[in-house]
Amino acid sequence: MKRTYFGTDGVRGRVGSDYFTPDFVLKLGWAAGRILGANPDSKILIGKDTRISGYMFESALEAGLTAAGVNILMLGPMPSPGIAYLTHTLHAQAGIVISASHNPYEDNGIKFFSADGDKLPDSVELQIEEELTKPITTVASQHIGKAKRIDDAAGRYIEFCKSTFPKNLSLQGLKIVIDCAHGAAYHIAPNVFEELDAEVISIGCQPNGLNINAGVGATAPLLLQQTVLKEKADLGIALDGDGDRLIMVNRHGQILNGDSILYIIARSRQTHKTLYGPVVGTVMSNIGLEIALKNHAIKFERTKVGDRYILERLKATNGILGGEPSGHIICKDRLNTGDGIIAALQVLAVLISSHHDLDALLEDLRIYPQRLVNVQLPYKTDVLATKAVQIAVQQAEESLGDTGRVLLRLSGTEPLLRVMVEGQDEKQVDLLVHQLAATVRESLQSSSTN
């Protein structure tokens, strides 16, 4: 059975358009409550990021869940990984995050964590979708769920983040710029690093409901780069709207994406003999990361894009470390989901204990030129099946030979086709990716006029 609403990371859409409306979210809460909160004493956590529509959807979820007889613990603004952590430690049956992650404020989403703090398996998401087809009902009045707010949720998560940093180390003497994307980590990340004795300069920490991810954060790191250089900081840390992505900037203002971060942590775990199983990346991971890990006898595997698939592979191989170039880094020996703050702390622990800067930690890693172009999809179409696109892909692959890769994939969260080309020669990569994107656009235009 194919999922109708759930994508790679929950349900997501433009607020008020298509199906993503308050009445739909109310029924989604009811359906989720019926599946995830089947026991009489069930409780489900609800947290959100800072976008303005979060208030509306929080109320809708509350109504749906309580109608299904489920008790609710309200967390307020919290990073997604913080909600995963609290779902597990508070012994809840599930956690719900109201967030569209790195998307603009006009979008929002609903994603779920299981009792163990994992993403829900496909089978459970299908059960929720099946429940959505049924008419909504309300349990008897004496069984209606209750809602309670957890006032110290942020403090609990801050202490957990700090616990993942070695007790014998301190960030004293480090000057760090932290960009929270005006998102869910705005009141958490600066406190974590300050309480570990770093000198912290905060940007992107003034959410107003409309500015989440707007020119700040992991998807727009220019301001972070400029601030690191201006303040002569040792490094910069950028999170996205819900705090599960991490991008770093070195003291020269150069960006370190998820591949570089993953390499630093992997080599450290290997040195300390705490690296188990393969390091797991995705089809988007740079071939340079794979080569560098191989040179150090570290096995590397790829999955589909999405941290849920990385976690599935880590579980299957008894691995502890995986991640995506976009900055989702899973340190499974710390938490079962991507966590930007925790990943940053792992890198800083390596930096402090080794007495090296970020440049030195990446000396053995050569990132191959990789270009990604997003092509907007105005309607549902199987553009990948068109002959012109298939021929263009084949020609590009032949041009690159064994020293590069071509990947065209549909986004699981947005109406986009992502066109990626990777190879040794930057000019060739640039030329090929724009040629492929142009072919895709031409095919879309041709099919729309037929």
pLDDT in tens, 389-436: 999 999 999 999 877 899 998 877 678 889 999 999 999 999 999 999
- Span 305-319, pLDDT tens digits: 888 899 999 999 999
* Span 75-93, average pLDDT: 96
Q: What is the pLDDT of residue 242?
A: 97
Q: What is the pLDDT of residue 345?
A: 98
- Span 250-291, pLDDT tens digits: 999 999 999 999 999 999 999 999 999 999 999 999 989 999
Angle at the Cα of 287 from the Cα atoms of 286 and 292, rounded to 5 degrees? 105
Q: In whole angstroms, give the CA distance from residue 71 to residue 93.
A: 10
Helix (DSSP H) and strand (DSSP E) numbers for the chain = 14, 19
List active site positions: 101
Instruction: Classify the C-alpha dihedral 153-40-133-16 as positive or negative.
Output: negative
Q: Where are the beta strands (DSSP E) in 196-257?
A: 199-203, 235-239, 246-250, 255-256
Contact 271, 298 (CB under 8 A): no
Confidence grade of residue 379 (pLDDT, cut at 50, 70, 90): low
How distant, in Å, are the alpha carbons of 14, 96, 134, 135 from that of 130? 23, 19, 8, 11
Please give the distance of CA 112 from its chain centroid, rounded to a whole number.
Answer: 13
Q: What is the pLDDT of residue 394?
A: 94
* Span 14-39, average pLDDT: 93
pLDDT of 1 higher than 70: no
Q: 45 - beta bridge partners?
A: 73, 95
Lowest-confidence pick of 4-13, 65-74, 102-111, 165-174:
4-13
* Span 162-176, average pLDDT: 97
Judged by DSSP in three states, 155 sits in helix
**Which amino acid is residue 186, in one-letter code?**
Y
- Span 176-190, pLDDT tens digits: 999 999 999 999 999
Residue 431: phi and psi, rounded to 5, are: -60, -50
What structural domains does the chain harbor?
Answer: 6-154 (3.40.120.10), 168-254 (3.40.120.10), 257-340 (3.40.120.10), 370-449 (3.30.310.50)
Buried b (16+ CB within 10 A) or exposed e, 82-93: bbbbbbbebebb
Q: What is the pLDDT of residue 336?
A: 92
pLDDT of 154 higher than 80: yes
Which residues lie below 8 Å from residue 393, measured CB to CB, with a gap of 6+? 406, 408, 436
Query: 């203002």: which residue's tokens?
Result: 253
- Span 344-364, pLDDT tens digits: 999 999 999 999 999 999 999
pLDDT > 90: what percent of the chain? Answer: 85
Which segment, 34-38, 135-139, 376-380, is predicted with the most confidence on average?
135-139
pLDDT > 70: what percent of the chain? Answer: 98
pLDDT of 110 higher than 90: yes
Judged by DSSP in three states, 318 sits in coil
- Span 51-61, pLDDT tens digits: 999 999 999 99
How distant, in Å, are the alpha carbons of 6, 343, 374 from that of 367? 33, 20, 21
pLDDT of 234 higher than 90: yes
Q: What is the pLDDT of residue 48?
A: 98
Judged by DSSP in three states, 300 sits in strand
Confidence grade of residue 21 (pLDDT, cut at 50, 70, 90): very high
Residue 259: phi and psi, rounded to 5, are: -65, -45
Q: What is the pLDDT of residue 382?
A: 78
| Token pair of 350 as six digits | 């390596």
Average per-residue pLDDT in the chain?
94
Judged by DSSP in three states, 443 sits in helix
Cα dihedral 339/344/349/352 (nearest 10): -170
pLDDT of 71 higher than 70: yes
Query: 């092509």: which residue's tokens?
Result: 375
